[in-house]
Amino acid sequence: MSVKINENYLLLENSYLFIEIARRVEEFQEKNPNSDIIRMGIGDVTKPLTSTVIKAFKNAVDEMGDEKTFMGYGPEQGYSFLAEAIIKNDFEPLGIDLSVDEVFISDGSKCDTGNIQEIFGLDNKVAVTDPVYPVYVDTNVMAGRTGNINDKGMYEGLIYLPCTKENDFVPELPKENVDIIYLCFPNNPTGTTLTKDQLAKFIDYAKENNALILFDAAYERFITENNVPHSIYEIEGAKEVAIEFRSFSKTAGFTGARCAYTIVPKELKAFDSENNPQSVNKLWNRRQTTKFNGVSYPVQRAAEATYSKDGKRELEENIDYYMKNAKIIRESLSKIGLDVYGGINSPYIWVKTPKNMDSWEFFDFLLNETNVVGTPGAGFGPSGEGYLRLTAFNTLENTKKAMKRISDLSF
């Protein structure tokens, strides 16, 4: 006898995207030591935590050092002070009623979107949009819901819903019966959104097919247009068929501090093998209380501070700063005749490669000619081929400098 591995892990593709980008940039830098490289490929914020958040964070750390105010283990689901602030600020203004025990605070949406699948059976059919945030795919591969990856970069057994300029980045409803659908809007990597009506079609599909929608709203705070839903629960009946993931990472600069939350409505049911409805909220609660011990108290106090009057204003200023960059990117690239998508309700700009270059050719071209680093769209799935992602997470100066360099090119 010998210890056996979970062989599903052998099905995973090496996540070579960011490693390959780093390798090419390093090689370029060695050959061109004086080049001024501008990185516009990173999906991480660049602005620090705001002063109001830091003040709350520090106060809570001081409480931890005092016998009278020290906090040990907290509730696995998070403190009610934060859950209440979330409901009051993120949902009540949208006309959405939630109770505290439908809010599960965690240390990240990556973990939550990755972990959620384990409370559902292995024989569920799963659909993802393509291009896609790789976490949704890889965690289902690890669990054993797929077969091998084919030469197009698609896993057998997964349903891919293409989002390309041909369909205005609006995925079609699955043609076959699927049980679980991952949606991320505003989308990473394309930066595009769905209107309420477009999202409502997925709710209808889920209701008709007893399916579940896993809705990742990590970028909702970047929405500027009116008809774009901030929460899936703005759509009638969504509570019966959808889980929503939100994160303080991109909206409040918590990528290093770590705080997120997941909404699992009590109305939401999934079915056992005898077709009896079971509460998904109960299952997720059981999973979290068994495998997770909560987010640290100071981090939850820091997250709470994002909802204070000053905290909100500071956050808005940061988002406005990023969105100003996004506008500069969009307008500069459009002006020189490139097709650009996203960047209106999202910090991501999805650029169609010119002259039929593939994603990596365009990446190399920009690196060599302008020293600007993007992310090749092909790294996010087969339908990402022929696109490149740029991000607004940068300084205004660098954004302007990069766009000036690209504008001086001729295609």
Ligand X SMILES: *Cc1c(COP(=O)(O)O)cnc(C)c1O
Applying CB under 6 A, the span of 58-66, 68-76, 106-114, 353-361 interacting with ligand X comes to: 106-114
| Binding status of residue 250 toward ligand X by CB under 6 A | yes
Question: Whole-angstrom Cα distance, residue 254 to residue 87?
Answer: 19
**DSSP bridge partners of 411:** none
As given in the structure block, the two tokens for residue 315 are: 């956050």
Q: Give least dist CB 222 to ligand X, A.
A: 11
| Binding status of residue 247 toward ligand X by CB under 6 A | yes
Q: Give least dist CB 318 to ligand X, A.
A: 15
Q: Which CB sits closer to ligand X, 120 or 380?
A: 380
Q: Which CB sits closer to ligand X, 325 or 375?
A: 375
Q: Which CB sits closer to ligand X, 332 or 346?
A: 346
Name the phi and psi angles at 299, rounded to 5.
-65, -40
Q: 3-class secondary structure for 354-376? A: HHHCCHHHHHHHHHHHHCEECEE
Span 175-194, contacts to ligand X by CB under 6 A: 184, 188
Other C-beta atoms within 10 Å of 184: how many?
23
| Binding status of residue 260 toward ligand X by CB under 6 A | yes
Q: Give least dist CB 382 to ligand X, A.
A: 18
As given in the structure block, the two tokens for residue 339 are: 């097709």
Q: Which CB sits closer to ligand X, 155 or 182?
A: 182
What are the angstrom distances between the C-alpha of 267 and each of 199, 214, 250, 281, 304?
19, 15, 29, 8, 27
Closest residue by Cα to residue 304 from 88, 71, 45: 88
Q: Which CB sits closer to ligand X, 109 or 332?
A: 109
Q: Which CB sits closer to ligand X, 83 or 406?
A: 83
Q: Give least dist CB 97 to ligand X, A.
A: 25
| Binding status of residue 43 toward ligand X by CB under 6 A | yes
**Cβ neighbours of residue 255 under 8 Å, at least 6 residues apart?**
44, 45, 249
* Angle ∠(29,32,37) on CA atoms, nearest 5: 55
Question: Whole-angstrom Cα distance, residue 31 to residue 366?
Answer: 16
Q: Give least dist CB 258 to ligand X, A.
A: 7
Q: Which CB sits closer to ligand X, 217 or 338?
A: 217
Q: In 3-state terms, what secondary structure has residue 321?
A: helix
Q: Give least dist CB 260 to ligand X, A.
A: 4
Amino acid present at 32: N
The count of chain residues that interact with ligand X, using the rule CB under 6 A, is 14
Using CB under 6 A, pick the residue from 39, 56, 110, 155 that binds ligand X.
110
Using CB under 6 A, pick the residue from 216, 220, 304, 314 that binds ligand X.
216
Q: Give least dist CB 47 to ligand X, A.
A: 15
CB-closest chain residue to ligand X: 108
Amino acid present at 69: T
Strand ranges across the sheet with 242-247: 103-106, 260-263, 242-247, 212-216, 180-184, 126-130, 158-162
Q: Give least dist CB 5 to ligand X, A.
A: 26
| Binding status of residue 133 toward ligand X by CB under 6 A | yes
**DSSP bridge partners of 182:** 128, 214
* Angle ∠(235,236,237) on CA atoms, nearest 5: 115
| Binding status of residue 108 toward ligand X by CB under 6 A | yes
Q: Which CB sits closer to ligand X, 133 or 233?
A: 133
| Binding status of residue 169 toward ligand X by CB under 6 A | no
| Binding status of residue 134 toward ligand X by CB under 6 A | no
Closest residue by Cα to residue 303 from 346, 336, 257, 267: 257
Q: Give least dist CB 106 to ligand X, A.
A: 8
Using CB under 6 A, pick the residue from 52, 77, 109, 164 that binds ligand X.
109
Using CB under 6 A, pick the residue from 80, 255, 279, 289 that binds ligand X.
255
Applying CB under 6 A, the span of 193-201, 244-252, 299-307, 370-378 interacting with ligand X comes to: 244-252
| Binding status of residue 137 toward ligand X by CB under 6 A | no
* Angle ∠(44,50,52) on CA atoms, nearest 5: 150
Q: Give least dist CB 64 to ligand X, A.
A: 23
Range 41-45, long-range pairs (CB < 8 A, 24+ positions): 41/373, 41/374, 41/375, 41/389, 41/390, 41/391, 42/391, 42/393, 43/188, 43/348, 43/375, 43/391, 43/393, 44/255, 44/393, 45/249, 45/250, 45/253, 45/255, 45/322, 45/393
What residues make contact with ligand X under the rule CB under 6 A? Answer: 43, 108-110, 133, 184, 188, 216, 218, 247, 249-250, 255, 260
